[in-house]
Amino acid sequence: MVKYIESIRVGFRQKTYAMPVAALALNFAWESIHAAHDLGTELSVQAIVNLVWALADGVIVYTYFRFGRRELPAFVSRPLFIGWSLIVFAAGF
């Protein structure tokens, strides 16, 4: 949880995303898939933990889409950034 809280804090404070997008996409996919599966089959402590982590990752994903375009060269337009990002997150799933 410390990593998530610090990533969110750094993201909003420095107006950036605090982890590599490939790692973020895989992390978000893993935790949301497992949270949905566990909550759908049997409610357990791990299911709740996965849900909390997936929600925290969702906030980090927000910082990525909100501030991530600024980290790239000027020729990368907003639509190109969003399209490429959606492909990365889809590949993560």
pLDDT digits (tens, 9 = 90+) for 13-26: 999 888 899 999 99
Q: Give mean pLDDT, residues 37-51.
A: 90
Contact 88, 22 (CB under 8 A): yes
Report the run of H or E that residue 38 belongs to, with start and end: helix 21-41
**Residue 71 — pLDDT band, cuts 50, 70, 90?**
confident
What pLDDT was estimated at residue 88?
97
